[in-house]
Structure 1
Amino acid sequence: DILNSKINKAYLIKNQGFEESFSKYAEFELLSAAILNHHIVSFVYNDKHRVVNPYKLINNKGVWYLLADEEETLKNYTVSKIFKLQIKEESFTPDDKFLAKIEQNDTNWFSNTTIEVVLEIDNNAKEYFTRKEILPNKQIIEENKDCLIISTKISYDDEILNIVKHWIPCIKIISPKYLQEKLNNILTEYLKTTQPVGKPCNTTKNKS
């Protein structure tokens, strides 16, 4: 029916294994309307002003992304990192080659380059990753009584980091090394912002 047709046009959901907290409902609704009505949008992303033609809102493993054409290149933008969103009065005509690419692509990531990632998965998570199609282009390199070594191909760092963060400590990134270092930095910064167990948020004592 008409409603389902509009939903399919605006959204693409794949491999929804877990959810992230999502608070940008207003931006989400504005982007949905812009996609359906083919309106150009602008926003700030990674401290840079962007003007794009929006095509899809994609849910990949619980994380929402905007798929849009920026300077004739399809790119993904994490919705939670989009700021100062504005819907322009100008409209655009969807590009047939982009529409065909969206229909044909078997993952939710659109890039001309891919990165091979090798992961070590322990027995606590091994069955889940062998049974579910969580990782694109998955190949088993080695399987023993302790762990599973697999390779997968990604286009963006967050594509694999979001999965690994969810499965800590059951997964280790063997290669590339920079991804494990990036994950270590993320976790270190997170731990700096957390309160020690049992310590109240306000440690100031009231004086009588």
Structure 2
Amino acid sequence: MTNRQNKLFHLLRLMGYMLKGRELYAQDATLTEELGVDERTLRRYLEEIEENYDDLIVCDKQNRIIGGRKVTVYRTIDPTKDIADILSFFINNDAQGMGWLMQLIHTNDPMILKGFDDDQKKALQRQVKKNKDVVLFRTNPLENLMDPEAEKLLRVLKNAVKNHEYRTFQYTYNNHSETLEDLKCLKLIFMKNNWYLATENEEHKFRFLRIAFIDKIDYSSKSGYQKSVLDRYDDFFATIQNPMSLPFVPQKTAMLKAHGRIAIYFKKSMKKFLESQTFIREEEDSVVFSIQYTQPLEILPFIKEWLPDIEILEPKELKEMLIVELKKYVSIHNNF
């Protein structure tokens, strides 16, 4: 048996042990004897498994004491047990104000109770009931995971992004179905209450795919792309505002003024609505601020949300575009 075959045999055997629920650590003399390797080699194997399968393998970095020695334990993830342990921590530390998190998770998947013992179940139910009278969720970032197929889809895409893979998609948008071949899976992004996949084709054309519109994912004949592709998008991903943001496009600046009843929401101390939103000055009964954008579609929907109390000061072409759209709306409305 060659060294490469021997290594593969050992890796598969170790993963087989973990699949059966065995906890592994490099200092296990019984394990090193079974494989015929030394502690250093076994540690390297375990680290390699964890590095390549971190979505399946959990590495207990908080060194445990086994046989009088501090060891790092590797095992397969037990979703029920592990989640129960995490939630139990928050239940027992409600002083941290995390009760709302318990309510969110329980609302998303009541089956989470499956891994709890009776005392844990009672504690969680008490906390959920207490917070239900205080906190109400109407936007749930977990809602897309409630469907098993959607959860599976996200898991596949996560691995594709992690491993810098190409994939081919069947995609339907506005009743138009298309095949998108050999797309680089760049990053999963949650924005505007939806999951999106950032992609790039072989012609370096960027596109966001909304996960809910993906009908099917197939493997590509192409091997993985180089990490340098992702490096080009570092600045874009750091400043992205919404699904209409475009990479590698010179940004423009819109100067806006919020009047009267909405001015308070744009004061310097208030939370930003968009990443590039910048306070300029406060005037009598109004606030002037700026927003960067790559195309009008990136900010016009936001501006429309605040009509009629928001004014576009510049650029002129953005103001004219909004006026054209408003006149079109009035014309359509008058025809009814």
Structure 2-normalised TM-score? 0.41
SS of 2:291's partner is strand
Root mean square deviation, CA, Å = 4.4
CA shift digits 1:154-200 (9 cap, x unpaired): 2232221121122222222222233233333444455527996xxxx
Are the structure 2 counterparts of residues 78 and 174 from structure 1 closer, same or farther at C-alpha, using a change threshold of 3 Å? farther
Q: Which amino acid aligns with 1:32?
A: L
**Unaligned residue ranges in structure 2 (runs of 5+):** 1-53, 57-137, 140-146, 161-166
2:293 — aligned with what?
A: 154
* 1:75 counterpart = 2:206: yes
Point out the more displaced range, 37-46 or 126-135. 37-46
2:219 — aligned with what?
A: 89
CA shift digits 1:2-51 (9 cap, x unpaired): 49xxxxxxxxxxxxxx98xxxxx9x9779736623432325477989654
CA shift digits 1:35-93 (9 cap, x unpaired): 2343232547798965433333434444665421133536343739x978653331652
Where do residues 182-201 of structure 1 align in structure 2 (5 Å cutoff)?
Answer: 182-190=321-329, 192=332
Higher relative contact order (CA 8 A, sep 6+): 1
1:36 — aligned with what?
A: 158
Cα distance in 2, alignment partners of residues 60 and 176 from structure 1: 27
Are the structure 2 counterparts of residues 124 and 57 from structure 1 closer, same or farther at C-alpha, using a change threshold of 3 Å? farther
Instruction: Work out whether residues 198 and 209 of structure 2, in 8 Å CA contact, stay in contact via their aligned partners in 1.
Output: no
Cα distance in 1, alignment partners of residues 246 and 228 from structure 2: 13
Cα distance in 2, alignment partners of residues 76 and 128 from structure 1: 32
Instruction: Work out whether residues 119 and 151 of structure 1, in 8 Å CA contact, stay in contact via their aligned partners in 2.
Output: yes
SS of 1:134's partner is coil
Q: Which amino acid aligns with 1:111?
A: P
Cα distance in 2, alignment partners of residues 154 and 65 from structure 1: 20
Please state which structure has a larger fraction of its residues in strand. 1
Identity %: 26
1:106 alignment partner, one of 205, 230, 238: 238
Structure 1-normalised TM-score? 0.60
Instruction: Work out whether residues 68 and 75 of structure 1, in 8 Å CA contact, stay in contact via their aligned partners in 2.
Output: yes
Cα distance in 1, alignment partners of residues 153 and 321 from structure 2: 30
Where do residues 116-135 of structure 1 align in structure 2 (5 Å cutoff)?
Answer: 116-129=253-266, 130=268, 131-135=270-274
Instruction: Work out whether residues 257 and 289 of structure 2, in 8 Å CA contact, stay in contact via their aligned partners in 1.
Output: yes
**Unaligned residue ranges in structure 1 (runs of 5+):** 4-17, 20-24, 197-208
Shift of residue 143 of structure 1? 2.2
* 1:53 counterpart = 2:181: no
SS of 1:56's partner is strand
SS of 1:106's partner is helix
Cα distance in 2, alignment partners of residues 2 and 30 from structure 1: 13
* 1:180 counterpart = 2:310: no
Instruction: Work out whether residues 120 and 171 of structure 1, in 8 Å CA contact, stay in contact via their aligned partners in 2.
Output: yes
Equivalent residues, number: 179
Shift of residue 145 of structure 1? 0.7
Shift of residue 98 of structure 1? 3.8
Instruction: Work out whether residues 121 and 148 of structure 1, in 8 Å CA contact, stay in contact via their aligned partners in 2.
Output: yes
1:163 alignment partner, one of 302, 306, 318: 302
